Amino acid sequence: MDFREVSLKPIVSICIANYNGDAVLEACVSSVMAQITDFPVEILIHDDCSSDDSVAILKELYPNVTLLTSVTNVGFCTSNNRMAAAARGDYLLLLNNDTRLHAGALQTLFTFQEGNPDAGILTLPQYNMQTGELLDRGMFMDLFANPIPNTKPGTREVAMVMGSCLWIARELWEGIGGFPNWFGSIAEDTYLCCCARLLGRHVVAVDESGYDHAVGYSFGGGKVKDKKLQSSLHRRALSELNKNRVIAICYPDSSIMLLLPQFLLLLIEGIVLSIIRWNPALLWGIYIPAVVEPIRDHQRLCALRRDVQRRRRVRFGEFFAPFRLLHHKISLLWAYGIPEVR
C-alpha cells in the first residue's frame, strides 16, 4: 500500500511511541510502510520530548506521518493514550520504536481479527532483533502477574501480549479506557490484557509473520545477555510496582488476597538480593516502593477496581485459565542465576 495516499477513513492506525529513537526509528517506520495490505492505514508517532534527532528525522523522511510532540516527558502510557485519541482507524496497532514488522504482519492481524470478532487483543511472534531467536508467541502468566513466554508453535489464546506489538479494536480500547496514565511505563500491557479478558474478549498470539524487537533499547535491561538476566533499577522498580497494581485492580474475587504473599515474597527477595549484591538501593529503590506505594494509593486502586470488576463478564476459572502455577521467578533463577540489576 502507498502510505502517501491515506484515505479519509483508515481502517488501521499504527501508533509508535518514541523517545530518543533516532537510531531505530527509520527501520521501524520503513517496515510499516513496506507492508502490503488491502485496507487503508495511517501512522501516528508520539515523540516524548526526545533530546536526539528523532523529530528532525521524521519531518525530513516521513512528512506524511502524523507527528505528535510533547514538551515534557510523559511516558509510554500517556504517549499511547494521546495517539489513540488522535487515531481514526477501527483498529490500533501499538508498536515500539525499536521493532521491525515482518512481511505480511498487518494483513495477518487484520485477516485474523475479521475472522475472529471475539478476539480482543492480538500479537505476532516476537524475535530478537540481534540474533533472530524466537522470544515468544505471546505470554502466559503466573499467579503473581509475572509474564511467562509462550514458545509453542501454533495460534493460541494467551494471558497477555507485549505492548511492543499489540493490536486492539478501538471499541475495546475505549471501553477499557486505554492505559492508566499513572502507570508510566511497564506492565501497562498486562493491565490492558487482563481488562480485556475480564470483559470476555480473547487475547491471542497469531502464529504467522512476526516482528523483530531490540529488547531493552528504551528502558535498558529486561533481557538475557551472556546467559544472565539483566535489568535496570528503573525498569525493575516500575515492573514490580505495576504488577502489584494489576493484581489489585484486575484479579477477581478473593484472588486479590494474593497481594499478601506477594508483598512478603517481594520483601524477602529484596533483602536477599540486596545482601548478595551488597547494594541496599535494590531493596529501597525497587521492593519497598512496590509494597508501600499500592498501600498509599489504595483509594485510586480501589476505585478503578470497582469499575473494572463491575463490568466483568467471565468466571473466576475462565480468567485464570491461561495462568501457570509455578512462580516464574523460580524458573528464571534456575535458568540464569541471580539477576543483575544496574
Q: Provide long-range contacts, Cβ within 8 A and 24+ apart, for 311-319.
A: 311/198, 311/199, 312/198, 312/199, 312/252, 313/198, 313/199, 313/200, 314/197, 314/198, 314/199, 314/200, 314/252, 316/252, 316/253, 316/255, 319/194, 319/197, 319/198, 319/251, 319/252
In the chain, domain spans = 12-213, 221-341
DSSP letter assigned to residue 203: E
pTM score of the predicted model: 0.95
Instruction: For residue 207, give the nearest of 333, 298, 112, 132 by alpha carbon.
Output: 112
User: Backbone dihedral region of 104: left (phi > 0), alpha (psi from -120 to 50 degrees) or beta?
Assistant: left
Query: Which residue bears the cell 523517545?
Result: 19
Residues 95-152 pLDDT 10s: 999 999 999 999 999 999 999 999 999 999 999 999 999 999 999 999 999 999 999 9
Query: What is the residue-wise DSSP string for 242-310?
Result: HHHHHHHHHS-GGGGGGHHHHHHHHHHHHHHHHHHHT-HHHIIIIIHHHHHHHHHTHHHHHHHHHHHHH
Distance between CA atoms of residues 272 and 158, nearest Å: 32
The separation between the first and the last C-alpha atoms of the chain, rounded to the nearest angstrom, is 43
Q: CATH homologous superfamily of domain 12-213?
A: Spore Coat Polysaccharide Biosynthesis Protein SpsA; Chain A (3.90.550.10)
Order across the sheet with 221-225: list the strands. Answer: 221-225, 228-231, 340-341
Q: What is the CA radius of gyration of the chain?
A: 19
Instruction: For residue 6, give the nearest of 92, 64, 67 by alpha carbon.
Output: 64
Structure confidence at residue 224 as a pLDDT band (50, 70, 90): confident
DSSP letter assigned to residue 181: G
Residues 331-340 pLDDT 10s: 999 999 999 9
Q: How many CA atoms lie within 13 A of 83 on its CB side?
A: 32
Burial group, residue 156, by CB count within 10 angstroms (0-12, 13-18, 19+):
middle
Order across the sheet with 99-101: list the strands. Answer: 99-101, 211-213, 126-128, 134-136
Q: What is the pLDDT of residue 3?
A: 54
Q: Is the pLDDT of residue 249 over 80?
A: yes
Query: Which residue bears the cell 495516499?
Result: 5
Give the number of other CB atoms < 10 A from CB of residue 104. Answer: 16
User: Grid coordinates representing 179?
Assistant: 492505559
Residues 270-314 pLDDT 10s: 999 999 999 999 999 999 999 999 999 999 999 999 999 999 999
Structure confidence at residue 216 as a pLDDT band (50, 70, 90): confident
CA dihedral sign of residues 20, 22, 28, 34: positive
Q: What is the pLDDT of residue 4?
A: 44
Percent of the chain with pLDDT over 90: 92
Please report, for residues 6, 29, 39, 43, the alpha-carbon distance to residue 11 in angstroms, rounded to integers and kept in the order given: 10, 18, 6, 11
